[in-house]
Structure 1
Amino acid sequence: MGVGRALSDAKPYVAMVLLQVGFAGMYIVSVASLKRGMNHFVLVVYRNLVATVLMAPFALLLERGVRPKMTLRIFLKIMGLAILEPVLDQNLYYMGAKLTSAGFASALVNILPAVTFLLAVLLRMEKVRLRSLHSQAKIAGTVFTVAGAVLMIMYHGPVVQFPWSSSASGSAGHHVDGAAAAAATASSASSWLNGTVMLVGSCVCWSGFFILQNNTLQSYPAELSLTALICVLGSAMSGAVALVAERRDMSVWVIGFDTRLFTAVYSGIVCSGVAYYVQGLVTRARGPVFVTAFQPLCMIITAVLGSTILKEEITLGSVIGAVIIVVGLYALIWGKGGDHADNGKPPAAAAAAPGEGLAIDHAAGQRRRRRQACCARRRRRDAGGEGCLLASL
């Protein structure tokens, strides 16, 4: 029993670690493809089409009997999710990463939990008690996270040489970190700043997606169907955006059997289809802040792969800023978990993010209520109360 319980408790952690490895691979292959000329609008469309083809059959087969009834309110929420993630977040991220670097982009994405916390406070989904130590930790963590991001943007410093990249850095000077390029020329500084703004905007959209996803799962607890619908609507809306943006050059839609095709397929399967589904499961169980708490692992993997494969150079400012962001991130997570411990909530909800009022097993609760209602109807029809046998199952 103890081993089974431990394995069950470890599932969310294992799932999020594997997701971060998958995201790190996406950062590398997408930046490589974008800097070789792939159009980011087209990449978003193909990525979500692949995810739709992957997830739709599973949603239709596995959730046929448990899929809730679609209402206008739920449909509007799903449209909002499709706009926030496939349309806005992915396009902003790809544009920002192309103008900076994979390592810088993955480091800056660590402001995600702080942005999620700020949005939750603004939406009154998160309570802050200034006299509480854990609330103070959340505020301090947010300040540290923002300060680290500002440091990464404002301070560049010398290039940090890693053992695995020192031999190749001299021969690949054209693949430089966005911060180093910013210090080189005024024109690259402008592009780098624009890329940073786009990455911050991407984080805001991603945080909004997590919060809205958490809310949507309360009324539509079918993760596979929700994932498939987000991908379908995301494909349609991002396709419309791409057609308008690239109406003068239809050749951008043509991709061959090269890294561009691999990027679209890999991103669609791992980072849209599988990621949406797994994030939905973990978000329901632990909350969106728990989901975003594993971003530093992705940053480390991306930094190693970026400096090795893409020959990117990482500046001292990026390293110091990333360390400060990680310190702030875990201060925020500690404060969040302690907040719930003070309130006497169960451990499963300890790391939950704003809006954690969602039940851990909402679908099971719905089935239980349906059984109870069925029992009541049978009792009314049968004075003997035989229908109560159903409720005891």
Structure 2
Amino acid sequence: MEKIDVKKVRCQAKMLGTTVTVVGAMLMTLYKGPIVDLFWSKNYVHTSQNQSYVTHTTDRDWVKGSILLLIATFAWASLFVLQAKALKTYKDHQLSLTSLVCFVGTVQATAVTFVMEHKASVWQIGWDMNLLAAAYAGIVTSSISYYVQGMVIKKRGPVFATAFSPLMMIIVAIMGSFILAEKIFLGGVMGSILIVIGLYSVLWGKHKEEDERAEAIEANKIVSVVAITMPKQMPDPLKI
């Protein structure tokens, strides 16, 4: 779906931006470094319970977790590719496609819940945070996000839509620090800067690609107009 010509600057910018974004996300995840005190969280005092939780975390089942995380990441990346293919079939029925995706996700979640949970109390719905969390997950993070994601893929392509995915890590870090007063480490700041730089590079490459495509379309229109206005048969100068 994405054509790459390594000789063109716009393609080099997209590849370099993608690499920088991945490096920034890995740096933000794997490296901590010293704590960066922000003005809204530097006066916050962590309790001994939180400190013991941070210092005594174990790496139990980290192999299984890593494998499942890789599978989830691959499945999430495949969703954009499959959605781009499906939008070609459901070009004028994007809302129906979103409803179908949400329905299949509901059936899958129900089946997993039946397998993992054997208590009837988990199906009880009350006016509490559980209902709010389920409603937010179903309406905002599933229905609206899939529909908007499909609109972006339809207009700009899957690369443009996936380019903004690493920004979720930055938004989560900022909101966690602002609302929950979580500490931000130097690695997170450095990784965020690299993610922003990589995102700008990818978007710059996509912008140049759209400009070239628009120029090509305009040139084709001019050629078509000239071909229509020109006479079908030119007189032979030898016969004249």
The TM-score bracket by the shorter chain reads 0.7 to 0.9
* Structure 1: segments with no counterpart, 5+ residues: 1-124, 348-393
Deviations 1:216-243 (A, max 9, x none): 1111121111111111111112211221
Distance (Å, rounded) in 2 between the aligned partners of 1:193 and 1:255: 35
Q: Which has the higher helix share?
A: 1
Deviation at 1:290, TM superposition (A): 2.8
TM (norm. structure 1) is: 0.48
Distance (Å, rounded) in 2 between the aligned partners of 1:289 and 1:134: 13
TM (norm. structure 2) is: 0.75
Identity percentage of aligned residues: 42
State yes or no: 1:244 paired with 2:120. no
State yes or no: 1:303 paired with 2:179. no
Distance (Å, rounded) in 1 between the aligned partners of 2:192 and 2:62: 17
Q: How does 1:230-309 map to 2 (within 5 A)?
A: 230-247=101-118, 249-295=119-165, 298-309=168-179
Given that 1:289 and 1:333 are in contact with CA atoms closer than 8 Å, whether structure 2 keeps it comes out as no
Question: Aligned in 2, Cα 1:277/1:206: closer, same or farther, shift over 3 Å?
Answer: same
Moved more, 192-201 or 220-229: 192-201
Q: 1:321 aligns with which of 191, 196, 220?
A: 191
2:222 is matched with which residue?
Answer: none
Distance (Å, rounded) in 2 between the aligned partners of 1:291 and 1:251: 39
Given that 1:137 and 1:335 are in contact with CA atoms closer than 8 Å, whether structure 2 keeps it comes out as yes
Given that 1:307 and 1:313 are in contact with CA atoms closer than 8 Å, whether structure 2 keeps it comes out as yes
Q: Higher relative contact order at CA 8 Å, sep ≥6: structure 1 or structure 2? A: 2
Letter aligned with residue 154 of structure 1: L
User: Paired residues, what number?
Assistant: 216
Distance (Å, rounded) in 2 between the aligned partners of 1:276 and 1:250: 31
State yes or no: 1:159 paired with 2:63. no
Given that 1:146 and 1:325 are in contact with CA atoms closer than 8 Å, whether structure 2 keeps it comes out as yes
Deviation at 1:196, TM superposition (A): 6.6
2:50 is matched with which residue?
Answer: 174
Deviations 1:151-171 (A, max 9, x none): 223321122222112222434
Letter aligned with residue 236 of structure 1: V
Deviation at 1:293, TM superposition (A): 4.0
Distance (Å, rounded) in 1 between the aligned partners of 2:202 and 2:89: 28
Given that 1:283 and 1:291 are in contact with CA atoms closer than 8 Å, whether structure 2 keeps it comes out as yes
Given that 1:148 and 1:321 are in contact with CA atoms closer than 8 Å, whether structure 2 keeps it comes out as yes
Distance (Å, rounded) in 2 between the aligned partners of 1:226 and 1:175: 46
Distance (Å, rounded) in 2 between the aligned partners of 1:311 and 1:192: 27
Letter aligned with residue 135 of structure 1: C
- Partner of 2:43: helix, strand, or coil? helix
Given that 1:172 and 1:311 are in contact with CA atoms closer than 8 Å, whether structure 2 keeps it comes out as no
Distance (Å, rounded) in 2 between the aligned partners of 1:344 and 1:204: 33
Deviation at 1:251, TM superposition (A): 3.5
